[in-house]
Amino acid sequence: MTSTLNTDQLLVDDATWWRQATVYQIYPRSFADANGDGIGDLRGIISRVPYLQGLGIDAVWLSPFYPSALADGGYDVADYRDVDPRIGTLDEFDEMVEALHGAGIRVIADIVPNHSSDDHVWFQEALAAEPGSPERARYIFRDGLGADGSEPPADWTSMFGEPAWTRVPDGQWYLHLFAKEQPDFNWDNEDVREDFRKTLRFWSDRGVDGFRIDVAHGLTKELGESLPSQAEIDAITEPGAHPLWDRDEVHEIYADWRKVFDEYTPPRIAVAEAWVSTPRRPKYASAEGLGQAFNFDLLEADFDAEQFRTIIADNLALSAASGSSTTWVFSNHDVVRHATRYALPPRNGSTVKQGLKWLLSGGTKPVADAELGLRRARAATLLMLGLPGSAYLYQGEELGLPEVADIPAAERQDPAFFRNPGVDMGRDGCRVPLPWTRAGSSFGFGPDGAHLPQPASFGELSVEAQDGAPGSTLELYRAALALRHELQAAETLEWVRSPSDVLHFARPGGWHVVTNFGTDAVPLPDGEVLLASGPLAGNLLPGATTAWIRTV
């Protein structure tokens, strides 16, 4: 399929390309390995550009490819303006951007501004320097409590479950909201601000079209002389009052970045990864700020018509109010893949919460209904691809890959697993390298094995096995993305009255999207069936199935 954006001129001219784009997330270490070291690389991505073009996506978002000790899968960045030598070189990066642009695919890079790696030269300089020095002022260092300062400045817990303050040899402590190898930057420091402007320009000058901003709600902190306890922090409910997250001052940084984005034609885009309440999201997505923000509401929802309807209506209203377009996503490198989440029996009324618990318990109990999970995942995705706004896809979901739950402990990599033994299975199960071929070394991921073990079932889920196979998940995604380009018009939808287990909406141009969340088949509306996520029963739409219908 030829992308409608397949000319340099169109890439330059269209400043609104992001509003209804389909963005495909590549987790570089697990996408394709060209040099045979078991780790995906930029040459691997270059070799798969025809695949990405054939899929019909508008952009790729690359998770971090920077030099990193991999304390957190690359989100511990040692150098923001280079490529990890295991992944490639800057020249290869340029080659990759050129190849993707040549295929009409834009490139979004992941920027990690809340924290660096402890290997970052600035953190090393901070460790070597005195307390109170300018080098330490780029991070958040404090003296400890108690007579000898041996107690941390506060009892806070990091996102990975360990204490959030770590002591350095001279007795001071530094803050890390994630792993101890990820010291938090001090965003009151002008060096930090200037360095990130430099990074944004560095990648924009190399042709990057936009940025995904990691932990966008975390950068600015309100740390007074005496710090509140974890219990006191946990009790704060007033929006904007939390000392660590989602502070209003963070938007000054994004207003500043907006000026950098607007130095380019078309302006560089940005999408905030900000886990904030739905009403706080528009500020991140405002035109004066980052422009767009992830909306994780569907990802956190059950396969349930009413939940979907409310989430869709609320988010379209919110994005209309902020002038942005909303984003939809079901899977990414941090969560249990949706084909598996939807495979779990609900417990306490929620499949999602159960999915997380299932992962925590080792992914063996209760037994998942994989067939049902995939059927629902395909239906949910086809619904999402019919919605106005941008759709974010995660590598491998187009193959219907399940979460790989039984990775042996010795082969796991995610710090979340090691730091919470027996409590958290971590995120390796959604980061297992992609299967490209039915057989052979690492199912075609690379010539010499893969850095995480792939299950035998990956062979029949491979690109080779699904390519051209009628009804395969890959062919469903290809068909949906091609049609989406053709059908996409104004960013509006109209709900059509339907039974309570069914969602039915119409987009301009006579495009109807109908999803049956229930178990009993329901009559299809009149019109031409363009595509369905599963077999139809005559003119009936079976349970856990979506159909796209054209009425004019």
Contact residues for ligand NOJ, defined by CB under 6 A: 72-73, 75, 112, 178, 214-215, 273, 333-334
Q: Residue 41 or 428: which CB sits closer to ligand NOJ?
A: 428
We find the least distance from the C-beta atom of residue 84 to ligand NOJ, in angstroms, to be 16
Whose CB is nearest to ligand NOJ? 75
We find the least distance from the C-beta atom of residue 214 to ligand NOJ, in angstroms, to be 5
| Paired strand residues for 269 | 210
We find the least distance from the C-beta atom of residue 66 to ligand NOJ, in angstroms, to be 12
We find the least distance from the C-beta atom of residue 148 to ligand NOJ, in angstroms, to be 32
We find the least distance from the C-beta atom of residue 112 to ligand NOJ, in angstroms, to be 6
Q: Distance between CA atoms of 423 and 157, rounded to whole angstroms?
A: 15
Q: Distance between CA atoms of 282 and 276, rounded to whole angstroms?
A: 10
Helices and strands of the chain, counted as H and E runs: 17, 18
We find the least distance from the C-beta atom of residue 158 to ligand NOJ, in angstroms, to be 10
CB atoms within 10 A of CB 121: 10
Q: Residue 72 or 464: which CB sits closer to ligand NOJ?
A: 72
- Measured CA to CA in angstroms, residue 194 lies from 83, 189, 258, 538 at distances of 21, 9, 14, 62
Instruction: Tell me if the bond preceding 366 is cis, omega within 30° of 0.
Output: yes
Q: Distance between CA atoms of 431 and 218, rounded to whole angstroms?
A: 25
Q: Distance between CA atoms of 343 and 356, rounded to whole angstroms?
A: 12
Q: Residue 77 or 103: which CB sits closer to ligand NOJ?
A: 77
Q: Residue 158 or 472: which CB sits closer to ligand NOJ?
A: 158
Q: Residue 139 or 511: which CB sits closer to ligand NOJ?
A: 139
DSSP code at position 524: P
106 contacts 8 by C-beta, under 8 angstroms: no
CA 278 to chain centre: 17
We find the least distance from the C-beta atom of residue 245 to ligand NOJ, in angstroms, to be 13
We find the least distance from the C-beta atom of residue 160 to ligand NOJ, in angstroms, to be 8
Q: Distance between CA atoms of 100 and 123, rounded to whole angstroms?
A: 35
SS3 assignment, position 332: coil
Q: Residue 72 or 195: which CB sits closer to ligand NOJ?
A: 72
Report, as residue numbers or ranges, the catalytic residues.
214, 263
Long-range own/partner contacts, residues 90-97 (CB < 8 A, 24 or more apart) = 90/206, 92/41, 92/42, 92/43, 92/46, 93/42, 93/65, 93/206, 94/206, 94/207, 95/42, 95/46, 96/42, 96/45, 96/46, 97/206, 97/207, 97/208
282 contacts 318 by C-beta, under 8 angstroms: yes
Q: Distance between CA atoms of 541 and 533, rounded to whole angstroms?
A: 10
Q: Residue 17 or 245: which CB sits closer to ligand NOJ?
A: 245
| Reduced 3-state DSSP string for 282-324 | HHHCCCCCCEEECCCCCCCCCCCHHHHHHHHHHHHHHHHHHCC
Q: Residue 159 or 530: which CB sits closer to ligand NOJ?
A: 159
| Reduced 3-state DSSP string for 179-203 | CCCCCEECCCCHHHHHHHHHHHHHH
| Nearest residue to 484 (alpha-carbon basis) of 509, 501, 467, 465 | 509
